[in-house]
Amino acid sequence: MDGSTIVEVIKNQRVFFATGQTKDLSFRIEQLKKLKRAIIQNEQAIFDALRQDLNKHPFEAYGGDIAIVVNEIDYALKHLSSWAKPKRAWTPIAYFPGTSRIIPEPYGVALILGPWNFPFQLTLAPLAGAVSAGNCAVLKPSELAPASSRLLAKIINEHFDPAYLAVVEGDAGTAQMLLAERSDYIFLTGGQAVGRLVMQAAAKYLTPVTLELGGKNPCIVDSDTHLAYTARRIVWGKFFNAGQSCVAVDYLLVDKRVKRDLLLQLGASIREFYGPDPARSPDYGRIINNAHFSRLSGLLDRGTIVIGGQTERAGRYIAPTVIDGVTPDDPVMQNEIFGPLLPVVEYDDLAQAIELINKRPKPLALYVFSRNREVQDRVFRETSSGGGCINDTVIHQPTTTLPFGGVGMSGIGKYHGKASFDTFSHERSVIRSGFLFDIKLRYPPYKDHLKLLKRIL
């Protein structure tokens, strides 16, 4: 799509937003219902697109893309009426007789930049928030998942007026053209490098942003844990979508007393999930493209591969891989992996693990496995992360009652559930004064008013 077409799309959305139609609560509710119907009607097409782009099994496609969006819509439909109501606020006595309200209002035209790893969830879940809050929206799916991008465009364009919701397909150049135009809100799910570009573009118009980024998500395994359950939950959270998830476990920090037994349990869980040869498993995904395949393959030459390690470029296959003997300085420990490689770093004392985490930028997620409540509390007290789990992985991300987002280098802003509505809403503060009487204290000449003012305030 060329620049003039993009300008026209945004212009038309501004005209539509100015009509005030999107602010009507019944309109928003109907659009959310329409979006839900469109997703459900295209379930099989979504399965096919995700299989083509990422070799996702329908179970992962439904659980990781469809169900989360439908749950977000259902939650919004249930609570939208109360979210959208103006909220009363306390009014200082000095402003009596007055009443204060906080009125949530939409920003206008929202730009949503989606990623390739969960192309439906991570594009449509923010859209549900934008619609709930009463915005128009332009969606830019990732070109790295072409089948999903085409299907997203088809779904939105067939069910919605492009003056209200529109999909703009294209490469990084298209994204740059969209960012060059003035949007009223920008929502990105992507990497830190793209996040910096978005912030630079947003600075031109001082456009507010939400950046859902990522980072190296640590997982601490204490000696006092249920090793079989721990391994199973780590393997599931790590190798879901072949590790291509912003909340996947990035590396393990394991108490050396249980490392050997944990490695055995990890291997057993991988075999249980994907069989003796994961390349033949219908349940195991593939790397998105050759560039990411080459990047990940280049991380296999340090440490000791204790599980997996097999690769096949033609099918973009990298086996579920566990790498022992890793040091914090190895290449696999420098940047977010975003793939099916799991480095293992052992520690002698919990303080060592916490210190290693705190030397790095704040991660998007942090996980700890331990039966010991003191260990659990200490880890979360002495570290910082966007979110996390105790004795599990990943499951905090799709929970509608938990705001999801990063901190520091792992992101700016939150969404899911009410947090999505709040993200795409401006809270407008208004005081309404009456004419019953007029206190003259605030007006000149001030004379000896200062003493009385101090008593009142």
Q: How many CB atoms lie within 10 A of CB 82?
A: 9
DSSP for 297-340, written as a single string: HTTTTSSEEEE---EEGGGTEE--EEEES--TTSGGGTS---SS
CA dihedral of 298, 301, 304, 308, whole degrees rounded to 10: 40
d(CA 7, CA 177): 9
Question: What is the distance between the terminal CA atoms of the chain, rounded to a whole angstrom?
Answer: 58
DSSP 404: B
Measured CA to CA, the distance from residue 148 to residue 153 in angstroms comes to 9
Residue with tokens 């923010």: 126
Angle between helices 25-41 and 121-133 (to 10 degrees): 160
363 and 387 Cβ atoms separated by less than 8 Å: no
Residues annotated as part of the active site: 212, 246
Q: How many CA atoms lie within 13 A of 332 on its CB side?
A: 27
- What are 358's two structure tokens? 């705190």
Give the containing element (helix H, strand E) for 352. helix 350-358
Interatomic CA distance for residues 48 and 403, integer angstroms:
30
Give the Cα separation of 188 and 406 in Å (integer).
12
- Among 15, 8, 3, smallest CA distance to 178 is for 3
Peptide bond into 97 cis (omega under 30): yes
- Tell me the β-bridge partners of 112: 139, 187
CA angle (41, 44, 50) in 5-degree steps: 120
- Read off the DSSP letter of residue 254: E
Is-cis flag, bond preceding 104, omega within 30? no
17 phi/psi in degrees, rounded to 5: -60, -35
How far, rounded to the nearest angstrom, does the alpha carbon of residue 128 sit from its chain's CA centroid? 13
Burial of 146: CB neighbours in 10 Å, binned 0-12, 13-18, 19+: middle
